[in-house]
């Protein structure tokens, strides 16, 4: 099965460089990014779109759905919860450590990276049991980091720079 993962379009907290628990909609730039991606998807076949339940992902999924396929929502694709870091600039954490699978540093009530990856891995394990030929996933940078870990292994555990940019797409074989 081909699995395409897309990160949602830009939202305000991406621009400001803050952690956010808010369910934000796309910025004007994020809408433009999704519209450009829609054109690239004309030549990609997919049976279904599976999206994170967060507004920015659902909005991106609706914009890029050039083939008018069913859009299914899956809670397991929700972004890693930043907990009580919400509203703070990302520089309040050691970003390398925040996205280090082997880190023992805990950041307040932020979701533990190992638990987060397990949630995404469970989604992918369930997806293996489906009869799709090709699936388009719309999610988040953190989810794309977990996909990287699932398909390429944990390795050195450093995932800070292994996520997708806004409206970037990556293909995997499941």
| Mean pLDDT score, 34-58 | 97
CATH of the domain at 24: 3.40.50.1240
Residue with tokens 């390398």: 96
> Which tokens belong to 77?
């694709």
Per-residue pLDDT, 42: 94
How far, CA to CA in Å, does 65 sit from each of 29, 45, 123?
18, 11, 21
Percent pLDDT > 90 in the chain is 99
pLDDT computed for residue 28 by the predictor:
98
**DSSP secondary structure code for residue 108 in this structure:** T
Q: What residue numbers bound the domain in which 28 lies?
A: 2-173
**Into how many domains does the chain fold?**
1
Is the pTM value of this prediction over 0.75?
Answer: yes
Give the pLDDT score at 118.
98
Query: What whole-number percentage of the chain has pLDDT above 70?
Result: 100
pLDDT in tens, 100-141: 999 999 999 999 999 999 999 999 999 999 999 999 999 999
Task: Average the pLDDT over 60-78 and give the result.
Answer: 98
């Amino acid at each position: 099965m081909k699995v395409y993962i897309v990160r949602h379009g830009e939202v305000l907290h991406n621009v400001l460089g803050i952690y956010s628990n808010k369910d934000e909609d796309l910025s004007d730039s994020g809408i433009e990014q999704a519209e450009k991606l829609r054109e690239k998807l004309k030549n990609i076949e997919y049976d279904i779109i599976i999206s994170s339940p967060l507004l920015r992902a659902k909005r991106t999924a609706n914009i890029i759905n050039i083939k008018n396929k069913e859009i299914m929502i899956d809670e397991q694709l929700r972004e890693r919860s930043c907990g009580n870091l919400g509203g703070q600039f990302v520089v309040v954490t050691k970003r390398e450590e925040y996205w280090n699978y082997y880190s023992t540093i805990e950041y307040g009530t932020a979701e533990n990276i190992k638990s987060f990856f397990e949630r995404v891995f469970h989604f992918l394990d369930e997806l293996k049991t489906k009869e799709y030929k090709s699936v388009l996933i719309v999610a988040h940078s953190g989810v794309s980091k977990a996909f990287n870990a699932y398909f390429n292994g944990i390795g050195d555990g450093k995932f800070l720079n292994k996520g997708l940019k806004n409206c970037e797409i990556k293909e995997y074989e499941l």
